[in-house]
């Protein structure tokens, strides 16, 4: 769909943007090295031929059992040029820090907070590095594959009500 | 402390008979008045709110049951309608709202999420608001039909009519105070 974007990117960052392929649905996908993601994003936004001006949809994936375990995915769109690209950044569990792209797109702010909240991936340089959804007392990151299926952490003590399905008492019923 | 059985004499005197008669009369009158003027506090958090609006507006018309006044201050309401999913982050807010409601107060769990957590059987959702506040009527459905809501409201009205009301409701006499 937008092979020119991929070619420009790989030519500009040889070795840092690698393994391009066409994903399902026809989206072009490029892997990017973790420490260069901010530069790649700045290039995508500011190059006059690319103009990726819309804030990306940033999310993360947990490939439990693989190495590197995590992956941060940036879906970028250009409203003026009408093309899209997806960047995949592999993040090993030993070094869960990805440079922030909030300096490039201010709108990436909450997405990066989401990745921190749900997956525990840190974004050094982020202006407001807090959890997005869960409360501050919450321990762990609930969308990780090794988070317990019903790992509930009530914020306030719960009443002791009989539960017809799960049995009595707050302790062992979940 | 003498129990309730000890202080009831074997033969009721005429004076106690009369007191009981008037207490029952007052209780019935207060129950009738309260069940027909349930001022609600809608704690609307999710999509069941659409169904709540449908019940409250002209077609299904909750005003037929005297519950048409939504009060957005818990101090002025006596029926807490928990409409929608309550997650763990909201739990302290719901508990605080419940404590702010003036006595006597009743709670309806509106929809399956408020009743049991529904299909949100996960890390974020309270598995039924009865884990936070005592609930009088549960209305199942995802979302419930307006007819179901009105049925639940009528159930609550029956409950309000049947329970004991006092002219002066002192705090220790209320069952919720013993918790």
pLDDT per residue, tens digit, chain A (174 aa), is 578 888 888 888 888 888 888 888 888 899 999 998 999 999 999 988 888 988 889 999 999 988 899 999 999 998 988 888 999 999 999 989 999 999 999 989 999 999 999 999 999 999 988 999 999 888 889 999 988 877 888 888 888 776 666 655 554 455
Please tell me which residue of chain A has the smallest CA distance to B92: A156
pLDDT for position A17: 86
pLDDT for position A172: 47
Residue B149's nearest CA partner among B100, B175, B115 is B115
Closest by Cβ to A151, choosing from B95, B123, B131 = B123
Closest by Cβ to B131, choosing from A142, A153, A161 = A161
Cα dihedral B54, B57, B59, B64, rounded to 10, equals: 120
Mark yes or no for CB contact B131/A170 under 8 Å.
yes
Q: Which residues of A touch B89 (CB under 8 A)?
A: 133-135, 155
Q: Which residues of B touch A156 (CB under 8 A)?
A: 91-92, 95, 132
Q: Which residues of A touch B124 (CB under 8 A)?
A: 133-134, 142
Closest by Cβ to B88, choosing from A155, A159, A174 = A155
pLDDT for position B107: 94
Q: Which residues of A touch B132 (CB under 8 A)?
A: 156, 158-159
Q: Which residues of A touch B134 (CB under 8 A)?
A: 159
Mean of all residue pLDDT scores within chain B = 85
Residue B19: CB atoms within 10 Å: 12
* Weakest-pLDDT range from A72-86, B5-19, B34-48, B64-78: B5-19
Chosen for mutation from A140, A145, A156, A165 (greatest number of chain B CBs closer than 10 Å) is A156
What average pLDDT does range B43-66 have in this prediction? 91
Q: Model confidence over B110-162: pLDDT tens digits?
A: 999 999 888 888 888 888 898 899 999 999 998 999 999 999 999 999 999 99
pLDDT for position A171: 45
Closest by Cβ to A155, choosing from B89, B127, B134 = B89
Query: Percentage of chain B with pLDDT > 70?
Result: 86
CB of B109 within 8 Å of a chain A CB? The answer is no
pLDDT for position B118: 84
Check residues B5 and B103 and name the one with the higher pLDDT. Answer: B103
Please tell me which residue of chain A has the smallest CA distance to B86: A154
Closest by Cβ to A154, choosing from B91, B133, B134 = B91
Q: Which residues of A touch B130 (CB under 8 A)?
A: 159, 161
| Angle value at C-alpha B90, between B86 and B93, nearest 5 degrees | 120
Burial profile A71-99: b = 16 or more Cβ within 10 angstroms, e = fewer: bbbbbbebeebebbbbbebbbeeeebebb
CB of B92 within 8 Å of a chain A CB? The answer is yes
Query: Crossing angle of helices B14-35/B146-162, nearest 10°?
Result: 160
Check residues B170 and A5 and name the one with the higher pLDDT. Answer: A5
Judged against a pLDDT cut of 70, whether residue B6 lies above it is answered with no
Chosen for mutation from A143, A159, A169 (greatest number of chain B CBs closer than 10 Å) is A159
Judged against a pLDDT cut of 80, whether residue B171 lies above it is answered with no
């Amino acid at each position: 769909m937008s092979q020119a974007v991929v070619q420009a990117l790989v030519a500009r960052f040889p070795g840092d943007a690698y393994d391009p392929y066409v994903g399902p649905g026809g989206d072009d996908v490029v892997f990017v090295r973790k420490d260069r993601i901010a530069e790649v994003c700045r290039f995508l936004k500011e190059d006059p031929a690319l103009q990726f001006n819309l804030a990306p949809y940033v999310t993360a994936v947990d490939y439990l059992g693989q190495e590197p375990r995590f992956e941060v995915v940036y879906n970028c769109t250009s409203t003026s040029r009408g093309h899209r690209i997806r960047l995949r950044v592999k993040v090993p569990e030993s070094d869960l820090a990805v440079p922030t792209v909030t300096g490039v797109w201010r709108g990436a702010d909450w997405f990066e907070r989401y990745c921190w909240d749900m997956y525990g991936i840190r974004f050094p340089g982020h202006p407001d590095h807090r959890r997005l959804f869960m409360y501050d007392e919450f321990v762990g990151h609930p969308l990780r594959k090794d988070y317990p299926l019903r790992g509930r952490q009530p914020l306030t003590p719960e009443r002791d009500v009989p539960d017809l399905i799960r049995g009595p008492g707050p302790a062992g019923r979940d | 402390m003498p129990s309730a059985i000890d202080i009831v004499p074997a033969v009721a005197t005429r004076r106690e008979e009369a007191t009981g008669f008037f207490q029952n009369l007052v209780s019935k009158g207060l129950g009738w008045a309260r069940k027909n003027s349930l001022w609600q506090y809608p704690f609307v958090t999710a999509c069941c709110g659409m169904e709540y609006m449908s019940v409250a507006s002209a077609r299904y018309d909750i005003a037929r049951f005297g519950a048409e006044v939504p009060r957005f201050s818990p101090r002025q309401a006596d029926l807490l309608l928990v409409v929608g999913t309550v997650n763990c982050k909201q739990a302290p807010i719901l508990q605080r709202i419940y404590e702010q409601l003036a006595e006597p107060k009743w709670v309806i769990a509106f929809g399956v999420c408020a009743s049991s957590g529904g299909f949100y059987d996960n890390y974020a959702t309270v598995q039924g608001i009865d884990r936070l506040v005592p609930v009088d009527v549960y209305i199942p459905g995802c979302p419930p039909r307006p007819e179901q809501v009105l049925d639940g409201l009528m159930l609550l009205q029956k409950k309000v009519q049947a329970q004991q009301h006092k002219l002066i409701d002192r705090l220790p006499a209320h069952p919720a105070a013993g918790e």
